[in-house]
């Protein structure tokens, strides 16, 4: 059962004039809670702070969110979703003269499921992400592109889809970031300077790779790069790492890079 707070008070009622509803004017973070502790909380808050600055929210917004978080009593395994909107506003796109952001916290049961740690089926999506460097990286509320990409399949055996940008370069999964390993052992991941989300787990794994002495290259790559890879995997804050076992008829197995990263996550986060 969900618990929902609006502006620090138990409530699931938000105004129909809220700009988050009207325009997707806001941001969100989804945080994994394990044994009552938020994983990578500082990284989530850092990304939220960057997004608030990009969207020109009041400077004090992050401190208010932190105050809201301090009132929570967390236990066991759960998922905490933070949604920050511009708040109520009149019709029209112009920013309100006075902004009073709405802060929503949704706490849901979150049993940690490791059933996909050995591998998943994935596919390429036909839908393409628009290139927009101004909003690239931040986790804003406008997720219609991801909704459209995810709508392309209903097969429950396919767990994730890979999305390219409008020029055909790899970006990410519909709900995750993407990595792959070449035959020589070099790790690759698409850059997110043009579009896509700068995932908290993506950044964490890039640091882990550096600590392990494994080269990681970030750049523009086409889908063909995946079909010649030795390992492919997705990541986000909730799933941690999902190795790909099948992609467009090609089979993969979790190799030494995935195994080292999974081991490192168990040491650091579990």
Residue 206 CA to residue 238 CA, distance in Å, equals 17
Residue 101 CA to residue 7 CA, distance in Å, equals 9
Catalytic, out of 139, 160, 174, 189: 139
Question: 180 by DSSP, 3-state: which?
Answer: strand
Residue 30 falls in the annotated catalytic set: yes
Specify the DSSP element, H or E, that contains 256: helix 256-269
Catalytic, out of 30, 61, 85, 189: 30
Is residue 255 within 8 A of residue 230, CB to CB? The reply is yes
Catalytic, out of 85, 172, 174, 231: 172
Which residue bears the tokens 């460097």? 133
Residue 94 CA to residue 96 CA, distance in Å, equals 6
Residue 182 CA to residue 257 CA, distance in Å, equals 10
Q: What are the residues whose beta carbons fall under 8 Å from the beta carbon of 123, sequence distance 6 or more?
A: 153, 158, 161, 162, 247, 248
Residue 50 falls in the annotated catalytic set: no
Q: What are the residues whose beta carbons fall under 8 Å from the beta carbon of 161, sequence distance 6 or more?
A: 122, 123, 124, 125, 149, 150, 152, 153, 173, 174
Residue 29 falls in the annotated catalytic set: no
Which residue bears the tokens 């509803």? 21
User: Cβ atoms within 10 A of the Cβ of 188, count?
Assistant: 20
- Catalytic site residues? 30, 139, 172
């Amino acid at each position: 059962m969900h618990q929902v707070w609006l502006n620090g008070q138990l409530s699931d009622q938000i105004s129909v004039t809220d700009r988050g509803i009207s325009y997707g004017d806001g941001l969100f973070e989804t945080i994994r809670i394990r044994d009552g502790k938020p994983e990578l909380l500082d990284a989530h808050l850092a990304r939220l702070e960057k997004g608030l600055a990009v969207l020109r929210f009041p400077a004090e917004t992050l401190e208010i969110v932190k105050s809201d978080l301090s009132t929570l009593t967390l236990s066991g395994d759960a998922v905490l979703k933070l949604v920050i909107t511009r708040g109520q506003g009149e019709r029209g796109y112009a920013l309100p003269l006075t902004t009073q952001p709405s802060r929503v916290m949704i706490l849901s049961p979150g049993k940690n499921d490791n059933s996909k740690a050995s591998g998943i089926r994935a596919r390429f999506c036909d839908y393409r992400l628009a290139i927009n460097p101004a909003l690239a990286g931040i986790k804003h509320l406008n997720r219609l592109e991801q909704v459209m990409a995810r709508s392309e399949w209903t097969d429950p055996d396919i767990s994730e889809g890979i999305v390219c940008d409008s020029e055909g370069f790899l970006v990410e999964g519909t709900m995750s970031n993407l990595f792959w390993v070449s035959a020589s052992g070099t790790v690759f991941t698409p850059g997110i300077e043009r579009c896509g989300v700068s995932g908290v787990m993506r950044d964490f794994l890039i640091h882990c790779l550096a600590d392990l002495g494994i080269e990681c290259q970030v750049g523009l790559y086409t889908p063909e790069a995946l079909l010649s890879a030795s390992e492919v995997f997705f990541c986000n804050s909730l799933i941690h790492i999902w190795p790909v076992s099948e992609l467009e008829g090609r089979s993969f197995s979790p190799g030494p890079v995935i195994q080292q990263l999974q081991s490192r996550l168990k040491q650091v986060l579990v």
